[in-house]
Amino acid sequence: MRKIRKGDEVIVLTGKDKGKLGSVLRILDENRVVVENINMVRKHQKPNPQRNLPGGIIDKEMPLHVSNLGLYNQERDGPDRVGFKRLEDGRKVRVFKSNGEVVDA
């Protein structure tokens, strides 16, 4: 079970986008994720008529390491660490370390 999943609201802890908030779009592998409108780069792209892609300079999100992200806790209004806990019915859920609140509803 991963601490950060697709669709989670995360806040950037370090780097050029420090303090920005975004949602996770994709998980590439165990340590890399792509976050919406974070770590944007400008890429020169050739046109591809088969895929109906125009050429030119495009803006694109690049992957970030998960150690540079923190799960956003609305009660604290900032990043928080994540732990795991077993419920009475046997389910394993993510919880915030600061207040013990369940992340997964």
d(CA 78, CA 68): 14
CA-wise closest residue to 84 among 67, 74, 71, 75: 71
d(CA 105, CA 101): 10
Helix (H, G, I), strand (E, B) or coil at 66: helix
State the greatest distance between any 2 C-alpha atoms of the chain, in Å, as a whole number.
55
Look-up: residue for tokens 């077993």?
Answer: 86
105: pLDDT strictly greater than 90: no
pLDDT tens per residue, range 62-86:
999 999 999 999 999 999 999 999 9
pLDDT at 67: 95
Mean pLDDT of all residues in the chain? Answer: 94
